Amino acid sequence: MNWKLAARAAKMNPSVLREILKVTERPGIISLAGGLPSPKTFPIQAFADACAEVLHNDGQAALQYAASEGYAPLRQAVADMLPWNVDPAQVLITTGSQQGLDLVAKVLIDPGSKVLVETPTYLGALQAFGPMEPNPMSVASDEDGVIVQDLVAKAKDARFVYLLPNFQNPTGRTMTEERRAAVSAAAAEAGLPIIEDNPYGELWFDEAPPLPLTARNPEGCIYLGSFSKVLAPGLRLGFLVAPKAIYPKLLQAKQAVDLHTPIFTQRMVSAVMKDGFLDRHVPTIRALYKCQRDAMIAALTREMAGLDVKFNAPKGGMFLWARLPEGIDTVKLLPKAVERNVAFVPGAPFYAGLGDPRTLRLSFVTASVEEIDTAIAALAVTLREELALLGEHQLAPAPV
């Protein structure tokens, strides 16, 4: 058969990262590479009870087709959860926030459209935008998020800027209050829509992050949220909040994709969440992840002593970002680390433009404290060996 692929299929490359991470799939590896929440946090009994309750009380409706907008009590619960005045009519329940990114791409991107992203940014967003053939452009960023002057300089004719203000994936950084105020004002002034992705915002360790960008200018933003990190990712349940002018288009795009997000799951989560369950459950996730973050920082401080290794101390979320000494390429370092039974994610694929080969992302949530200690020690040995090799090459006589 002569299959002729659509031009956009060429843009659907296998995730570079997935290819790189294939080497990590060996048994015995301690993986700091995954983007998975800790399964210890999944409230299995609460789901078992809610599942029985939904089937018993509303079984027929729970197994029937349902509204594309989502289950009304869940949309109301989402509106109530958010820290600004949200009309539940503006809430669209999505099949994970990843679907929200897909819908945004379909509704807002034409081939060649300029789309602004952070440096670096969430790889899954670049993947979701890719088939719509945008021209993604990186906005210079520092520890506090995007730099406003560069955002303003690049804003003209951009369809939107995609931002992750809280405990960003991959860097773990958080946008400060001052930066949020400045970004929000600059985007409003430039007429630049903001897509705000916030799957990690509830996972703060010492204090809640500043108000979302959307709360400052709801008409200028689409907000994406998720139940993956506060309940469980296997639910595939997320939501978006959109201005009323754009909501119908996002809804129509969703209808074409999957008609609606599984209603059984929506009803079950709605049943789990009643009586303030999240207010009791989420603090237990915060406590666990904080302890693991502390363990990783202690291990890095101890094991990388004397090396030019920079890393941050995220105030929440699941990831820490590190930069290794001059001359190291983390893509090449990974197989050597895997030989020593530790895996991480190289940073370069997270950049829309040229990546920084010295960077890497470490997840501190799925490995135990003991495993974190072992893994960081193994990573330090790998790095010292690589640096020694680099030193030898530099000393070797130049080929004639």
Ligand X SMILES: Cc1ncc(COP(=O)(O)O)c(C=O)c1O
35 binds ligand X (CB under 6 A): yes
Half-sphere exposure of 120 (CA within 13 A, CB side): 24
| Long-range contacts, stretch 385-392, CB < 8 angstroms, 24+ apart | 385/336, 386/328, 386/333, 386/336, 387/307, 387/325, 387/327, 387/328, 390/327, 390/328
Using CB atoms within 10 A of its CB, is residue 319 exposed (0-12), middle (13-18) or buried (19+)?
buried
Q: How far apart are CA 266 and CA 282, in angstroms?
A: 19
The residue (of 318 and 324) whose beta carbon lies closer to ligand X is 318
The residue (of 350 and 382) whose beta carbon lies closer to ligand X is 350
φ/ψ (deg, to 5) at 222: -110, 130
Nearest residue relative to ligand X (C-beta): 96
Q: Shortest gap between Cβ of 167 and ligand X (angstroms)?
A: 9
The residue (of 90 and 169) whose beta carbon lies closer to ligand X is 169
The residue (of 159 and 361) whose beta carbon lies closer to ligand X is 361
- Closest by CA to 357, choosing from 323, 391, 319, 392, is 323
The residue (of 260 and 340) whose beta carbon lies closer to ligand X is 260
The residue (of 103 and 164) whose beta carbon lies closer to ligand X is 164
Instruction: List binders of ligand X among 229-248 (CB under 6 A).
Output: 233, 238
Position among 31, 38, 90, 98 found at the interface with ligand X (CB under 6 A): 98
174 binds ligand X (CB under 6 A): no
289 binds ligand X (CB under 6 A): no
For the chain, counts of helices (H) and of strands (E):
13, 15
Mask 321-360, x = binds ligand X (CB under 6 A)?
----------------------------------------
The residue (of 169 and 292) whose beta carbon lies closer to ligand X is 169
Q: How far apart are CA 330 and CA 319, in angstroms?
A: 17
Contact between 256 and 334 (Cβ < 8 Å): no
Query: Near ligand X by CB under 6 A, which window of 60-68, 95-103, 135-143, 344-352?
Result: 95-103
DSSP states of 9-68 as a string?
Answer: GGG-PPPHHHHHHGGG-STT-EES---PPPGGG--HHHHHHHHHHHHHHHHHHHTS---T
197 binds ligand X (CB under 6 A): yes
Q: Shortest gap between Cβ of 395 and ligand X (angstroms)?
A: 42
Q: How far apart are CA 336 and CA 338, in angstroms?
A: 5
70 binds ligand X (CB under 6 A): no
Mask 105-144, x = binds ligand X (CB under 6 A)?
-----------------x-x--------------------
Position among 38, 90, 97, 265 found at the interface with ligand X (CB under 6 A): 97
* Contacts to ligand X by CB under 6 A: 35, 96-98, 122, 124, 164, 169, 197, 199, 226, 228, 233, 238
